[in-house]
Amino acid sequence: MTAKCFTVLYEKYKDKIYQYSLNLTNDSEVSKDIVQDIFMRLWQRKDEYHLINNVEAYLMQMTRNEGLSRKKRLFYKMEYVNFCLSNDETINNHDPVIFKEITTIFIEALNTLPPGEKKVYIARMHGFGRLDIARRTKVSKFTIARQLTLASKKVRKHVKHRLPYPLKEAA
């Protein structure tokens, strides 16, 4: 495949691939990435281009596979986030990419908290109970409970808004 042929294919199919991926993902940015990835892979396989019988069907199948693959990865990523948030456990390092992404969002969320709530929330994350936190900070256990509740709600809200997929409410 020549560069000119590639450009013609790109111009002919980019909008169609974008619309199809948008229908699959419901996300404009992800759809733009998919279009870019599909054409990058097509260019990488330019020596095999002559083996493709139906270019449009080939591109649509690649788009479908990539869109579904991304949805599947996102689903598992969100299940992981839901598990971490609903079990009130520290995020562990099972998948480095997911870990880094979630950790970044989580740190952003912590940094939005007022200093008192942040201190209490971090102490709770480290395994201290409400009474321990109250004793250490010399604040009433009721204030600690209120701060933890407020901080948890704020963190969840921040994480929900930063993730590209809606979080289910923790049980």
Task: Quote the tokens at residue 59.
Answer: 């591109």
Instruction: Write down how long the chain is.
Output: 171
Question: In the chain, which segments carry CATH 1.10.10.10?
Answer: 88-162
CATH classification (class only), 3-75:
mainly alpha
Give residue-wise pLDDT tens across range 20-61. Answer: 998 887 778 788 889 998 999 899 988 888 888 899 999 999
Instruction: Count CB atoms within 10 A of the CB of residue 67.
Output: 22
Give residue-wise pLDDT tens across range 87-138. Answer: 444 444 455 666 677 778 888 888 999 999 989 888 887 777 788 889 888 9
CA distance 37 to 63: 9
Question: In the chain, which segments carry CATH 1.10.1740.10?
Answer: 3-75
The dotted CATH code for 88-162 is: 1.10.10.10
User: Is residue 83's pLDDT more than 60?
Assistant: no
- The pTM score is 0.48
